[in-house]
Amino acid sequence: MVSRARALRHIVGRAVAGALLVAPPSSARSSFTVNPTQIHLGGRTTTALLTLRNEEALPLRFQLSVFSWNQDSRGEMELDPTDDIVFYPPLLTLAPGEERRIRIGAATAFGPVERTYRIFVEELPPESEGDQGAVRMLTKMGIPIFLRPAEPVAQAALEALRLTGGTFGFHVRNAGTVHFVPQDVRVRGFGLGKEVVFDRHLDGWYILAGGTRAYEVQLGDADCSRLHSLAVEVLIASSTLSDELDVDPAACRSSAAP
């Protein structure tokens, strides 16, 4: 089943810690904000401004870097250095309460399919640590950059439903030219009388143009033995993809089972 859907914004909130340091009893995390949380560039808008604000009572130092952004079938980021995106400045220091604007631009042609990148704002250690009894948790935040095609087409497909060895799997494929973000991915199992055996919600995340996200749900033996069918619903904007699979009881048994 194929459903058309518009691309969605994925909202990223205040910067969160990119790594947690092993710290003594006293530790601190810096606080800064970045706006906007997504950057869209197109034929008429080839540059944008990214505003970085220091919410701390101490100066903060930052460095910026940019990478092309792809994904594997599990949705994990695949990042590669790129010269397609230019920005300035790459290094900056913000006083308490200060904000700065970073200019970002496209240095490559716009194609028929959306191109995707991430610019990372990474906090650097302070030049001098005033409180030697505290270890600061440094923050790194990635902002998506989308180079939109002239004629964006959003199209999603739900495919490859299967149950093997007690594991239910399916694919959500992006057959369009721009990304989308599923708002909800729901898997339900029904018994012979259509009673709900289990109801599970899975994480939604960006699915880039031309990409496919593979989902798997491990079913318990007790639940799987009661199943008559499995149903999937994927909510994307105002559209819903749905499909159902009849369950073969033999598919509940793992290959290692006698």
| H or E segment and range at residue 226 | helix 221-226
User: How does the average pLDDT of the chain come out, rounded?
Assistant: 84
Tell me: pLDDT of 21 over 60.
Answer: no
54-68, 89-103, 120-134, 237-251: which has the minimum mean pLDDT? Answer: 120-134
* pLDDT at 15 > cutoff 70: no
- Return left, alpha or beta for 75; rule: phi > 0 is left, psi -120 to 50 is alpha, else beta: left
pLDDT single digits (tens) 134-191: 567 888 999 999 999 989 998 999 999 999 999 999 999 999 999 999 999 999 999 9
Average pLDDT over residues 88-103: 95
Strand partners, 147: 41, 115
Domains of the chain: 26-147 (2.60.40.10), 155-252 (2.60.40.10)
Phi, psi of 59 (to 5 degrees): -60, 145
Distance CA 228, CA 244 (A): 11
229-246 residue pLDDT tens: 999 999 998 899 999 999
73, 52, 54: which is closest to 64 by C-alpha?
52
Is the model's pLDDT at 102 over the cut of 80? yes
DSSP 86-141: EEE-SEEEE-TT-EEEEEEEE-S---SS-EEEEEEEEEEPPSS-S-TTEEEE-BEE
